[in-house]
Structures are given as C-alpha cells and as structure tokens.
Structure 1
C-alpha cells in the first residue's frame, strides 16, 4: 500500500475536477477553430489543461497555426463561454466532498487557473451556495500574486498562504485532474489526488500521490482527514 502522510488543509482545482467545464472548453474551442478549418485535438488540450488563459490561447493559436492573435482567440472564446458556462454541472462526488470537509471544519480553498470573471460564469447560476463554503479562492488568470501558471507551483503556494494558520506545504492536500496541475502541486511540496480524464495516458499520472477514477472513490482516512459518515 502506498504511504500517505496526514494533512490538515485541502486545495481544490475546479475545471474538470469539480465542474464538467473541461468538456465545455472543448466545445467552445472547437467552435472557434472550426471557422478556420481546424480541429482542437485532445493532444493540444492535454498541453493546456490547468494553464492560465493567456498561455492556453497562445498554445492553441500556435499549434493550429490560426490566422489570429492569442488576444483575438480569447475574445472569440469568451463569447462561447458566456453561452456555455452558466449551465456547468458538478462532477460526481464533488458536492459530498466539499460539504463533508466544511461540516468537519477542514480548511478548504479553491485554486483555479480560471479568471474570476470565468469563475462567476460557471458558478453563480447553479453552484454559488456550494462554492461559498470555501474559505477563500485564488484565480490564477486574474490574481497578480500568481506570477506563473501551472505546472509552476505558484497558485498552490499563494492559495495555501491565504489560510489564517499558514500551513506548511506538506500539510496541504491538492485535488487535481490535469497533468500540469499535478506537476504544480508536487513542485509546491504537496501531496496530490488526481482524477484524470480517462484518455490521459497512465504514464502521465505517475507523479500523483494517488489516482482515482472519480472523487466518489476518495477515502479521507488515508490522509488523516475525518471519515465519511455511513
């Protein structure tokens, strides 16, 4: 059995982990690149999952050789997001886990590469009450204190520093779905639970502390956290 260390604080990614927005990003990006006769492939998606918005736009524009700038790509996709994001759905197990930690007074925070405006598009219509349970939120694409996006550790170190009791990195457990996010958490010195897209090659998940098919599989006791009530 793998060796897990006890933790006291929990940090959550959002897109593709708590919300089904990775599927919506795919639809939005494909809708835009289709105008230029291009396909937004999973290989490109894999490179940008977890990245900040500006970096993601650059990668897509360059990879597909689009005849527009990264800024123009971001402007076009924003219109898609405004239509798609308000109906984001929770991923299996997300509500139970967030409510469980909140009820048991485990400090929890959101550490998402999304900009704050995109966050509100995804959450405000259906999920505001649940996301209000987080102690605080860090938005990688709009928070000036997050200098570098994932796979750099900045967002998780910034998010951890916002807890009033200032936990050490080894006291924090990160939940992630993206390879870049796992690399960021490990670079920050934190353990990380990975719930990857099933299309992600297993060799790319090896840095994770534990890999699950769904948040529903998570056992808090492994990391010294309060167990679920039967």
Structure 2
C-alpha cells in the first residue's frame, strides 16, 4: 500500500458508517421526528413571519389613518382604538402626547403611561421623561424637573444633549446666569450636540449677556 494513512482513513470511515447505520436503525425514529420538527418549525416560522408582517402593515395603516384625522379629538379617538403589541404602545402614547396645547392633561397622562411601562426599552422612558418635563413646565417644581433630567444627561444616554440643554434653561429660571452660560457654552463645544441645539445655545448665551465662543 503506497499510502497507509489513506487506507486507515478509509477503514475508519467504513466503521463510522456502520456505527451510524446501526444507530439510525435503533434511534431512527428520533431522527424522523427531528426532521419533521425542523420542517414543521420552518413552516411555522414562515407563517409567523408573514403574520407579523401583516400585523405590522395593519398597525402602520391604522397609525397613518389616525394621524390624518382632521381634528385633535378625532385623532386621539382613532389612536385609542389601535390594537398594539410591545413597543407599538409607546409609539401610540407618544403620538397621543403630541397635542399639549389642545389637551395638556391627556398629553401628560399619555407620557406617564410610557414612563410607567417597565416592559419598554429605556430609550422610550428617557424620551417620555424629557417630553414630560418640557410639557409640564413651571407647574412641575424646578427641583423635580432637575431630578428627572439629570439622569438623562449622563454619558451614554440617547438624549443626553437635549437633557443638558433643558438643565441649562433651569439654571436660567433659577437665576444662575453665569452657571447657565457655562452650561450652554459646554453644549456649543459638545461634538454630539446637533446643529439646531448649538444654534439655540448660542442665541441664549447672547440673550443672557454672554459671548458664544465657537470651538
């Protein structure tokens, strides 16, 4: 034999096949069930996927119909009737909070529902908290607004710069002009701050008697 290793490999492969055949005769019914389960599972997954896509389309259609309602009252009524699952509830509640001038109390209730829903991802809680502080305004004690905003302004939070902007405005409201200018200048220097926010910060610095320093 010119290649003994090849001969050994062939013998080993034959033994492996014999063992597999014997195991299949003994446990073949398990294999059949597994195959049936895999095929059935794949079919179920496809059905489930199609069903989820259809549900998502229905949700989107209902959302668009509600948004296009002619009055805030009819828009709220349409939004309240939408069947939701998971994070869809947060989206509906955020849309219900979009007319604070028309119904401020309902807006705050919608935001509180998002904040209280522990099943939602943190980003929804942060967004609802930020918006609630803005909508509540001076009717919410300044200390409570600051306590709500400070965690949102921590590093890594998705609305960090917007929360920092609101905290700067609280300093203005509290009569701490120099501290407010410093906070607004920090936002001007913050590379994560969007252009619109930086523009507002610069305008506020000027309004407070300061001079914006462009980094």
Shorter-chain TM-score range:
under 0.3
RCO comparison, higher one (Cα < 8 Å, 6+): 1
Q: Considering only CA atoms, is the larger Rg found in Structure 1 or Structure 2?
A: 2
Name the structure with the higher strand share: 1
TM-score by length of 2: 0.27
